[in-house]
Amino acid sequence: MSEAPLIGKVALVTGAARRIGRSIALRLASEGADVIVNYRSSKSEADETVAQIAATGRRAMAIHADVAKRIDVLTMFTAVEREFGRLDILVNNAGMFFPAKFEDLTEEQWDTILDANLKSQFLCSQSAAVMLRRSGQGRIINFASLGGLLAWPAYVHYCVSKAGVIMLTRCLARALAPEITVNAIAPGTISFPGDAPEIAEDFIRRAPLRRTGGPEDIDDTVVFLAQSPFITGQVIVVDGGRTLT
């Protein structure tokens, strides 16, 4: 494996201004990729991420777009085509998470979470497909969740959206082959500095490895899938064994 295995590649990460998205964008740049940083509301954080990438010598660009809206998505990928002329890796990271008691779950809440977590990945994958096919080694990496594999009664809307991501991944893996691979990552609890420790207590108690993951655990998986030419339609669970219990 070369020192910079993604040199010459262009990647777009949705929801890349903060937390996991930001960490992924920085890691892809460190592996040689030029990176488009998508954001919806966190402009200052997106600009800071772009500045950090640019400081490494890679090209970077922040693009504002609500990826649950087709017009925003089309405008974003038009800008990518104009500024970079290619796209090799799409990371569908943007999403939303909040609890709601099933009996009180509103239609608006249902639509909001399905749009943010599932519709956005459909729209971005569809719009990116032409450029990814042209690459000849296109990669789509979707973000699912343990919620797409486990039943959480306080998060029915969220679990359904992430289960949809898993089936979207499998369908696209067939629809876009052989030029594009499509895989998903289902993270367990990922901790960042400053997170409240009580948020992770239940996860740590249930996970065989007795710890939460760090952003580097997700970054490593993204880079692995970005390079792999023979894995497609899979859900890579990165959860310290939580789904075993």
Catalytic residues: 158
b/e sequence 47-70, b meaning 16+ C-beta within 10 Å: ebbbebbeeeebebbbbbbbbbee
The DSSP bridge pattern shows strands 10-13 and 235-238 to be: unpaired
- Residues forming beta bridges with residue 62, ordered by sequence position: 37
**Does residue 51 contact residue 77 with C-beta atoms inside 8 Å?**
no
- From the list 131, 98, 132, 90, the residue with the least C-alpha distance to 117 is 98
- From the list 100, 98, 114, 95, the residue with the least C-alpha distance to 185 is 95
Whole-number Å distance between alpha carbons of 172 and 178: 11
38, two tokens? 């998508």
Q: How far is CA 118 from CA 135, 152, 191, 194, in A?
A: 25, 18, 24, 29
Give residue for tokens 């289902």: 186
Task: Count how many residues are written for the chain.
Answer: 245
